[in-house]
């Protein structure tokens, strides 16, 4: 099927998506491998769909090669869907996982567990050079705990108690998380799409 670019420098995402695309004889390259190391894309969309598609289209326009991109984050019901698209920079310009988690806990101070419902969202977009565009979305529901628990994972994982597990993402193994996460669900849909394309 040829070559595709992943509009990301994240090695973990590269490995996960490459595993799927290898099955369809697609050579996935990172932005760095395609000569765009350090290339910045302003994520100014209001939804995960807008941001992921903007990334895919920007790189497609730059290189003329089919491009895949994703955008993901945490949505908390009690906070009207925040942090949402601002998940990575929720606590300000110099945000990191610790400051983001602290801000989230502060905003939910006094809120009982049953009202701390949330979901992780992952949207994967593909922009093809023939003009076709595809978007898939995966979600993982849970609740926001009262304190950080677990050593695995990253970001909001130590606060996110997964539905049906009563453990945070940071308390379950990476292998287990990769079966049930928002990204895993989006990747399942991505694989189905490429099966359909291969069957055309």
Active site residue ranges = 71
Name the burial class of residue 191, with classes exposed (0-12), middle (13-18) and buried (19+) by CB atoms within 10 angstroms of its CB.
middle
The rounded distance, in Å, linking the Cα atoms of 66 and 144 is: 37
In a 13 Å sphere around the CA of 172, the CA atoms on its Cβ side amount to 19
The rounded distance, in Å, linking the Cα atoms of 188 and 142 is: 20
Across-strand partners of 119?
75, 141
The rounded distance, in Å, linking the Cα atoms of 188 and 200 is: 19
């Amino acid at each position: 099927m040829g070559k595709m670019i992943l509009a990301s420098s994240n090695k973990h995402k590269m490995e996960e998506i490459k595993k799927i695309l290898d099955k369809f004889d697609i050579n996935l390259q990172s932005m760095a491998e395609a000569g765009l190391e350090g290339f910045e894309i302003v994520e100014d969309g209001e939804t995960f769909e807008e941001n992921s598609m903007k990334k895919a289209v920007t790189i497609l326009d730059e290189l003329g090669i089919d491009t895949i991109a994703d955008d993901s984050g945490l949505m908390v019901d009690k906070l009207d869907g925040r942090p949402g698209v601002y998940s990575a920079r929720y606590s300000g310009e110099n945000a990191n996982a610790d400051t983001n988690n602290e801000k989230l806990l502060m905003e939910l101070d006094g809120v009982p567990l049953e009202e701390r419902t949330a979901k992780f969202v992952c949207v994967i977009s593909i922009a093809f050079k023939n003009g076709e565009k595809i978007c898939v979305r995966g979600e993982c529901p849970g609740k926001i705990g009262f304190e950080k628990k677990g050593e695995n994972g990253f970001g909001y994982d130590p606060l996110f108690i997964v539905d049906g597990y009563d453990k945070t993402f940071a308390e379950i193994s990476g292998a287990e998380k990769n079966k049930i996460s928002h990204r895993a669900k989006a990747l399942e849909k991505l694989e189905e799409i490429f099966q359909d394309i291969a069957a055309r």
